[in-house]
Amino acid sequence: MARTDGIRLRVLMEPLHGARYEDILALARAAEQGGFDGFFRSDHLLGVDPDDRTYRPTDCWTTLGGLARDTRRVRLGALMSAATFRAPGLLATIVASADEMSGGRVELGIGTGWYAREHAAFGLPFPGTGERFDRLEEQLAVITGLWSTPDGQEFSFDGAHYRIEANPAPPRPAQSPYPPILVGGTGPKRTPAIAARYASEFNAGLGGDLAAQMATFTRACEDIGRDPGEPRRSSLLPIACGSTQAEVERRAAGMAPFFRGIAAIGSPEEVTERIAAHGEFGIDTVYLFILDIHDLEHIALIAAEVLPHLAGMKVATA
């Protein structure tokens, strides 16, 4: 079997030195005007260089709330929000608020969190790996539980890390039953198991073995009786596209060696072929990892020369 609605392309903003809201908005509007399906941003308070004194942190969901009002069509979300940053009841309310503000265009990407130095720099607790996975699972139980509580009923939860006591007024997102939830990463056990239970979309993250990750996720779905062809599957792809070799080299110059090893680098034709190859693994959504957020011509080139070739492309299904 194969999906025939093509590969969705989304823009992911991961600024090297942080960003002002006006820069975030300009990139989001460029993605919207170019016809991309979504605009997502990372949820970080420090950059990849923890000693970068030029980094300008912004709160992910505050800026997404702004974008909810300042854009009209493009879907919006986080890839990924750290479960260590916000209590689940608060996060459920924040996301529902942004969803209502956007007219139902918001998606929640959520993970365990991984950047220890970032937590230390902002006074946020950073428990061990096992506890972070436990907290992520409880967060998803609380968030989906609150969003799913029928009118007139209360929601309660008594977990090892979070407790909700008879909430009589759970948050109401605009989408029904609630916004899509993205869970992902390269973990071989708990990540796919949690995604199989809660996620609308499983994201493979960066640099993993896509075939193995998708097969593991398929088995995790089958283990709980879920149709593995129902959830979407996505990947993250750094990109440097250019109409000339000089443009390609300029856009690839700022990439770390790790990124260069997994990125789509080259002409629009080469980049299209690289993205299309993800469809062979059942991936129907690709997030293009944008480092230079001020290079709006890069977005326009991909929109004009890559995006049209991916519509209607066949995507393998589990």
Beta carbons of 289 and 237 less than 8 angstroms apart? yes
Fold held by 2-316: TIM Barrel (3.20.20)
Residue 1 has a pLDDT of 42
pLDDT digits (tens, 9 = 90+) for 268-282: 999 999 999 999 999
Residue 50 has a pLDDT of 79
Phi/psi of residue 85, nearest 5 degrees:
-85, -35
**Is pLDDT of 147 > 90?**
yes
Q: What is the DSSP letter of 172?
A: -
Segment 52-61 shows an average pLDDT of 93
Confidence band (pLDDT; 50, 70, 90) for 3? low
Phi/psi of residue 37, nearest 5 degrees:
-70, -35
Confidence band (pLDDT; 50, 70, 90) for 314? confident
CB hemisphere CA count around 294 (13 angstroms): 5
Beta carbons of 14 and 85 less than 8 angstroms apart? no
3-class DSSP assignment, residue 195: helix
Whole-prediction pTM value? Answer: 0.95
Confidence band (pLDDT; 50, 70, 90) for 150? very high
Segment 49-56 shows an average pLDDT of 87
